[in-house]
Structure 1
Amino acid sequence: MSGDDILELENFLPYRLNRLADAVSRRFAKTYRDLNGLTRPEWRTFATLGQYGSMTASGIGAHSTMHKTKVSRAVAALERRKWLTRTPDPVDRRIEHLRLTKAGIAAYREMVPLARGFETDLLGHLDEQTRRAIVQGLAALEQAADVD
């Protein structure tokens, strides 16, 4: 095979982005796992509700690109912790509106500075010009990939 017939996976942008995202996600997972024993789907569900206040499970799945089964399990786990409540939709009883409880909001407020600190530490290894370029580059890639 010639060089044109071979794909160097380690230099293929989608592969590199996936590896990087997974590595950063695993590293941050240690923070919320150590503090509250949350799984990734639980964290994403928790963070989404903390950001938006109220949302349906379908909305959380769409926002966080998680399968409905993972969202459902995460919702049940957060409900067992008493961090989340479900309110049936008055028009369509199949739909539930999810919201953090007072205890969930308190835990979320505790987690926000840790998440921001993690991001600051991660980006702190880069100079300002590189940080700006990464943020702009990610935005351009998200737009090119039609990411909502």
Structure 2
Amino acid sequence: MNGTKEKVAEPAPEGASLQLDRFIPYRLSVLTNTVSMVIASAYEREFGLSIPQWRVMAVLAQSPELSAIEVAERTAMDKVAVSRALQGLIDSKRVLRAFDKGDRRRSILRLSAAGQAVYTRVAPMALRYEAELLSALSPNDQRILDDLLTRLMDQAKSMQASRDV
């Protein structure tokens, strides 16, 4: 990979303390929450959408006709958060739920026309926020960040799979 030798993480030395402001999982979480709150303030004010509702809508816009379990998997949100978000979106008629003809226990979700209209207005706002955030990085840094995030996601999935076995 990029001509560098893969390195295996070494265990923390005995007595090492966790420095939260340098701990990557914490920093990624704080960054995600901060960015999400900045973007969310705009779509929450204008459309009454919560962060989980927007994530569900974005996933359904990309992959129509998913089950709630598939939405939870794609968003990495817990099932309760997805269920609450979906209930609000169904109540507001932004998401339609039908039942699978082969398995009545499985619901099929898709954006309604109203939901698609909201998505069409929120998506450009989200892209503008992303562009503003990324403007702190050069184009090369943006490519490196994308590569690093992909590699970290692949590693996290690998770690998760090995623990699920």
What is the TM-score when the length of structure 2 is the normalising length?
A: 0.81
1:56, CA displacement in angstroms? Answer: 0.6
Among 23, 39, 48, which residue is 2:50 paired with?
39
1:125 positional shift = 2.0
Amino acid at match of 1:27: V
Once the two structures are superposed, residues 79-102 of structure 1 have per-residue CA deviations (whole angstroms, 9 ceiling, x without a partner) of: 121111111110111111011111
1:54 aligned residue: 65
Distance 1:116 1:144 in 2: 27
**SS across alignment from 1:145:** helix
- Separation of aligned partners in 2, 1:11 and 1:4: 17
Residues 97-137 of structure 1: CA deviation (Å, up to 9, x unaligned): 01111111111111111111111111012211221111111
Deviation at 1:4, TM superposition (A): 5.3
Counterpart residue number, 1:120 = 131
The answer for the alignment partner of 1:74 in structure 2 is 85
The number of residues matched between the two structures is 146
Distance in 2 (CA, whole Å) between partners of 1:12 and 1:69 is 28
The two structures have a TM-score, normalised by structure 1, of: 0.90
**Equivalent position to 1:16, from 27, 34, 47:** 27
Using the alignment, how far apart are the partners of 1:107 and 1:8 within structure 2? 41
Identify the residue that residue 87 of structure 1 maps to in structure 2.
98
Partner SS for 1:16? helix
1:131 is aligned, of 142, 156, 163, to 142
Instruction: Say which SS state the counterpart of residue 24 (structure 1) adopts.
Output: helix
| Cα displacement (A) at 1:49 | 0.8
Partner SS, residue 91 of structure 1 = coil
Q: Which runs of 5+ in 2 are unaligned?
A: 1-13, 161-165
Measure the CA separation in 2 of the matches of 1:31 and 1:144.
33
Cα distance, 1:25 vs structure 2: 1.6
- Structure 1 or 2: more helix by fraction: 1
Q: Distance in 2 between matches of 1:125 and 1:53?
A: 34
Counterpart secondary structure, 1:28: helix
Identity of aligned residues (%): 35
Query: In angstroms, what is the RMSD of aligned CA positions?
Result: 1.8
Structure 1 residue corresponding to 2:39, chosen from 28, 32, 41: 28
Q: Give the counterpart letter for 1:89 in structure 2.
A: D
